[in-house]
Amino acid sequence: MSRLSRRDFCGAVAAFAATGAKSLWSLPASLVPDIATMDHERILHAANEYLPESPITITSYSSPRSAGGPHDYFSEADYWWPDPKNPSGPYIRRDGMSNPDNFTAHRHALIRLSLQVPALAAAWKITGDKKYAAHATLHLRAWFLDPKTSMNPNLEYAQAIHGVTRGRGTGIIDTLHLVEVARAIPFIETSGALFRDEAAGVRRWFADYLNWMTTSKNGIEEREAKNNHGTCWVLQVAEFASYTGNQELMTFCRDRFKRVLVPNQIGADGRLPLELARTKPYGYCLFDLEALTTASQVLSTRDENLFAYQLRDGRSLARAVEFMVPFIENKNSWPFPHDVEYWDDWPVRQPTLLFSGIALSKPEYIRLWRKLNPDSKVEEIIRNNPIRQPLLWI
């Protein structure tokens, strides 16, 4: 099976659009939402809000607890706290309970980037006004090109734990917020605001980060994670490989989706048992399913729809979505324990519903998607809903 390059994929989309279709899958074009119209005011409201705001990168913040330098991303593991029996000693874990005293400034800066650049790219796409692409370009230069403000392409010091480790593989989940940034960059490039040599430099940054993700100790550790962390590794590698044209890694991720993620994460009835075992089972199921479906959106081709891929025993991503949809539609029917945090703030406009609705010819999923809030103001929900501009994906 051959893989479409991004250029060929865009050509295929254009060819379908010329015939009146909006999807490479089987849902009739008339049922695919016109996102450019539907999200028009939403996109412009956000983009206009971001236009006056200057780039802020990780070099604006530092922590004395970081073992890295000013260009090294640093964060601390959420669920680790001082030990009451040994306050100055190694931290101890309290699953599901976030420690508000941990260093999060780099994570917040990264999330800010992930909100602003895709919104500006979407605004450029629907208006053709170059000011939006030009402002997005300022962020790309600051984060990936400027030697004074850029971030090093690794996460050696992410999700550190005081007294335990200076950084670990699970920290790689923090750059999940670069996925939609990478998706936005080719749109920005069409404006001409990002010069050719600059575009090559940004791609080189992502290629270097991909190399670190796939060869470093932390990267391999995260790849082998059994739950949503393993899923998010595949999603990141898939999108970054797509953006940089790395066909070998795209093939690797497609194979890993079929041979590792689906068999190890999805139960016989479609439930996600590894996420249900957590203290925030509802939110984690939504989060992992979003990562699974977005990875499928990236990795599927005209010849292979991974949403419909199933094992011999019938387990599939489609079944996992089918299991979860009733609880998105009516959270009160959830038969499992409630989340210890943020129970009242889920669900939001999950891309799972949009991507699966199109790929599986399920218009009822899309109708449900349209009803949900696209722009939560709750920090934790924003953090765990990294796909926010569907116009860049459909």
Point out the least confidently predicted range of 47-56, 93-102, 131-140, 198-207.
Answer: 93-102
Is the fold of 1-32+226-394 the same as that of 39-224? yes
Quick one: pLDDT at residue 25? 52
Q: What is the pLDDT of residues 141-164, one digit of tens each?
A: 999 999 999 999 999 999 999 889
39-224 CATH: 1.50.10.100
Phi-psi region of 349 (alpha: psi -120 to 50; beta: other; left: phi over 0): beta
Per the omega criterion (within 30 degrees of 0), is the bond before 347 cis? yes
The predicted-structure confidence for 60-92, as pLDDT tens digits, reads as follows 999 999 999 999 999 998 888 988 999 888 999
Model confidence at 26, pLDDT cuts 50, 70, 90, reads: low
More confident call, 1 vs 225: 225
Domain ranges of the chain: 1-32+226-394, 39-224
Tell me the per-residue pLDDT of 176-233, one tens digit each, with 9 for 90 and over.
Answer: 999 999 999 999 999 999 999 999 999 999 999 999 999 999 999 999 999 999 999 9
Q: What is the CATH number of domain 1-32+226-394?
A: 1.50.10.100
Reported pTM: 0.91
- Interatomic CA distance for residues 384 and 286, integer angstroms: 9
CA distances from 170 to 62, 79, 225 (A): 21, 12, 8
String of b and e for 269-285 (b: at least 16 CB within 10 Å)? ebbbebbeebbbbbbbb
8 A C-beta contact, residue 261 and residue 230: yes
Q: What is the DSSP string of 243-276?
A: HHT-HHHHHHHHHHIIIIIHHHH--TTS--HHHH
